[in-house]
Amino acid sequence: MSAQVPEKVLVVRRSLFDEIGSFHGLNADIQRYLPVFLESGNHFFVPRAEAEEDPSLKQLIPYVVVTAGERLLHYRRGSGSGETRLLKKGSVGIGGHINDGDGLGEAFDAAAYQRALMRELQEELVIESCFIERPLALLNDDTNPVGAVHLGIVHQCHLAEANVRANEEAIAELEFLSLEELADRHEQLETWSQLVVGGWKDLRRIA
């Protein structure tokens, strides 16, 4: 039996992020960063196990906030979560790693990135509503080992109706909550979600 091929994930060099302008928290100037990251030669794929231990690399992670009206979709990371360091944490972000297969054998570009984004969304959720998706910001947090090797690209998926259900066991206890309700759960949220919830009003105003 052949050995399983290791998962490869999309990364950029931390030095490139620093060159463009690294930051902590949310940065709504997404056009300053993402097009550069997706330029040929500025990104590549490495085995996930290697990327998770190398702070000289940043894994690009689409982080989709699903909304209905003024409420945000909240869930708890269940037992099937690929990131065990976030197990049982509350989250408002749907998404995950971009894999080498998302390029469909072509050079990885903006279209491939969008395919990866939609693949992650459809793998994790069953959405039975029309929706509008748009990018909002970049998200960075180097204060913990998970954040140090990841860079989030925050998107909003706004549903016409709150008709959504989990498509995998890693997504548990789905519910739409107001910003006030999410603020009350601050300590139970993963750090990226804490940052998103704290800056959501400003992101909406800028967008």
What would the pLDDT profile of 95-132 be if each residue is shown by its tens digit? 889 988 776 555 688 989 999 999 999 999 999 999 99
Number of domains making up the chain: 1
pLDDT at 206: 61
Quote the pTM value. Answer: 0.90
Flag whether 1 is in a domain: no
196, 93 contact by CB (below 8 A): yes
Banded model confidence at residue 87, pLDDT cuts 50, 70, 90: low
Flag whether 12 is in a domain: yes
Flag whether 198 is in a domain: yes
Flag whether 35 is in a domain: yes
Flag whether 2 is in a domain: no
Flag whether 3 is in a domain: no
Bigger pLDDT: 88 vs 43: 43
Cα 89 to Cα 20, 84, 172, 190, distances in angstroms: 31, 10, 10, 6
pLDDT at 5: 73
Cα 186 to Cα 40, 115, 183, 190, distances in angstroms: 39, 32, 5, 9
CATH number of the structural domain spanning residue 109: 3.90.79.10
Q: Which domain holds residue 196?
A: 8-206
